[in-house]
Structure 1
């Protein structure tokens, strides 16, 4: 479909008529010859004498070419644009941050993998997370790892391969032996604030209680609620553990409930897989559909046509004028 970005420019098509009406024809003075038989010449020629001026007559083809050239210039000034058919694209509608506990207790080998071998908690979590993110094509993924402190391992990205590679590079005790759960939530909120996506989800996987965060987990959960972040908490490991490695299920439940999320407890690999399947159902992949119509500017076409007309017409008019003078 053809559109004109500056359609008002078509008013300039009236300019030649206005100029012809408002500005009189140019008259050139020329030398005259006085003869005693002037009246006789007038009678013979049939011409009407004028007082010392003559109007040069242009060829019809010159007038037509000038009119066409002016129309081409006005057409270019109107900026014609070809608008194509609508193109629909799907855009990520959710930012999903995963905060993974890599404190010292995550090396406990109380999980059994698919082959029946004992494996540590972090390896089991990685195995399940890989399956989980495979179906999250509609989300931008981020990764935070936390121990004694929280660190951003991967900012929000659509690049699944890079995200999985950074997850694989995360090892136990890399961030210290303790569990800074509140700081992990706080760091997630800081990165959500830089996001324009309104659908924000944080999944926290931990096997212990908070042991020294600068921000208490429940206070961080209140801030997350104010920022529109939904938190799902996943507790792994033995709930009967005591001491610093004990699971504080009550705090994890409160964090999830405060933000409108759900708290899960996964004591083995199967339960962990079911937990992430449940989260997948609660937070299905989401897309925003956008539509746009490609626009191609065409103003150069009438300009090129004008240039071609000028190149052809100028020498042609010169030859015709020379021929007319010779014949006269």
Structure 2
């Protein structure tokens, strides 16, 4: 147990009574006396040698020690003693991550394979990999954006990875519309970062189609992201040789990553997608700000209570045994 004092300057008051005792003018009191003409005879008869000057009464030691004790306890209480508990270390995220997930109609394709070799829906395969990625980044604040014809915030910034995975589980193909608004999704991610007060900002965008319904082009959105210090990592899934909206625009994803200082990846199956998130995790290790503090428990009431008890004990003693003198 460690004891500290919040106001150690109070101990400078300890010598104040001694200073007053030595430098303040002495207390003088006039007393009535009887003058007798045969004073010298009385003094000689009593064996006392008369002397001139004042008479100083000797004080008992116990009241002196008691007064010193009370003063010490009062100064100790004024110094505010505190008991310091063991340090508590808090880790605060120094980076915010936005996950932007394409849930357009093309994400319903079953061109990914599961562990048993059966076809698997593209979105479900992506969600399986994202769950693991989210669970392993407990120190980061993360937000989830889903986009199709329009972009929406599915989950705001949070460090609760279980809740974030819960929002991810509720995501389904087509709930944001059948088309792909890639540029709007990046723009919404930039606005999401406006509430962030950290310098490290990363956005991971996964898409399997070409931008067809954005009000802001992906390149313009990428330029704004670069100005705001947001690094965008893009992941392309799907079939680059397809036609129409089902064709993934790999060139656009590459341009977005290059403009923002991020990196572009392509994954055509579950294993490749897992490796992509592993690479992103390796290139962007966890960043935390460590803060520590020691809880303080105020102990000033204890010396104050002790001083009150001593005062009450003296008062009781004097009121009950007034006819007795203090012990020497």
Q: Give the structure-2-normalised TM-score.
A: 0.87
Matched, 1:247 2:252: no
Contact 1:103 1:179 in 2 (8 A): yes
Tell me the residue number matched to 2:232. 231
For residues 103-114 of structure 1, what are the structure 2 equivalents within 5 Å? Answer: 103-114=104-115
- 2:15 is paired with a residue whose SS is helix
The Cα shift of 1:28 comes to 4.7
Judging changes above 3 Å, is the alpha-carbon distance between structure 1 residues 308 and 208 closer, same or farther for their aligned structure 2 residues? same
The Cα shift of 1:21 comes to 3.8
Judging changes above 3 Å, is the alpha-carbon distance between structure 1 residues 56 and 188 closer, same or farther for their aligned structure 2 residues? farther
The Cα shift of 1:55 comes to 7.1
Tell me the residue number matched to 1:169. 170
| CA displacement 1:141-160 (0-9 Å, x = unmatched) | 21111122221111222212
RMSD, aligned α-carbons: 2.8
The Cα shift of 1:228 comes to 2.4
Number of residue pairs matched by the alignment: 324
Q: For residues 115 and 241 of structure 1, what CA distance do their matches in structure 2 show?
A: 27
Q: For residues 27 and 318 of structure 1, what CA distance do their matches in structure 2 show?
A: 26
Q: For residues 264 and 62 of structure 1, what CA distance do their matches in structure 2 show?
A: 86
Contact 2:238 2:247 in 1 (8 A): no
Tell me the residue number matched to 1:280. 281
Q: For residues 299 and 154 of structure 2, what CA distance do their matches in structure 1 show?
A: 48
Q: For residues 59 and 316 of structure 1, what CA distance do their matches in structure 2 show?
A: 15
Q: For residues 46 and 174 of structure 1, what CA distance do their matches in structure 2 show?
A: 116
Contact 2:138 2:160 in 1 (8 A): no
Contact 1:26 1:55 in 2 (8 A): no
Judging changes above 3 Å, is the alpha-carbon distance between structure 1 residues 40 and 113 closer, same or farther for their aligned structure 2 residues? farther
Q: For residues 13 and 305 of structure 2, what CA distance do their matches in structure 1 show?
A: 19
Q: Give the structure-1-normalised TM-score.
A: 0.87
For residues 117-132 of structure 1, what are the structure 2 equivalents within 5 Å? Answer: 117-132=118-133
Structure 2 gap ranges (5+): none
Structure 1 gap ranges (5+): none
- 1:201 is paired with a residue whose SS is strand
Tell me the residue number matched to 1:79. 80
Give the stretch that moved more between structures: 155-164 or 293-302. 293-302
Judging changes above 3 Å, is the alpha-carbon distance between structure 1 residues 42 and 80 closer, same or farther for their aligned structure 2 residues? farther
